[in-house]
Amino acid sequence: EVQLVESGGGLVQPGGSLRLSCAASGFTFSSYSMNWVRQAPGKGLEWVASINEDATEEYYVDSVKGRFTISRDNAKNSLYLQMNSLRADDTAVYYCARYSGSFHCFDDWGQGTLVTVSS
């Protein structure tokens, strides 16, 4: 059974940093592109970042470019999101999502971790 478990969320002040982690199990992690998707309170989902299987390609939504960095450790079956210069509008539940090349979409998701940016 595929499992994606996020951690690292919490309360942080504007301008601060946070590192999210996603522990993957139940599949060959190194064979899949991985993503972060977020949902702000009362809003829809927003794709944040993607990283390919061997971490040679990264993609970001414009609003986080230069502030967030996606990375992975295939030996540890883990995905990360380093978030710097956090702003109030980064407040959201952050989901780790697996990309399926067969389905051309995100076929498995974690439960999410809440990030709150507030003074």
Residues that bind other proteins (CB under 8 A): 35, 37, 43-47, 50, 59, 61, 95, 100, 103-111
In the complex, the smallest distance separating the C-beta of residue 68 from other proteins, rounded to whole angstroms, is: 14
In the complex, the smallest distance separating the C-beta of residue 84 from other proteins, rounded to whole angstroms, is: 21
Other beta carbons within 10 angstroms of residue 87's beta carbon come to: 13
If the CB atoms of residues 68 and 95 are measured against other proteins, the closer one turns out to be 95
The 8-class DSSP code of residue 44 comes to -
In the complex, the smallest distance separating the C-beta of residue 119 from other proteins, rounded to whole angstroms, is: 28
Closest CA to 113 of 18, 20, 13: 20
If the CB atoms of residues 27 and 109 are measured against other proteins, the closer one turns out to be 109
Hunting for tokens 């499992």 — which residue is that?
3
54/40 Cα distance (integer angstroms)? 29
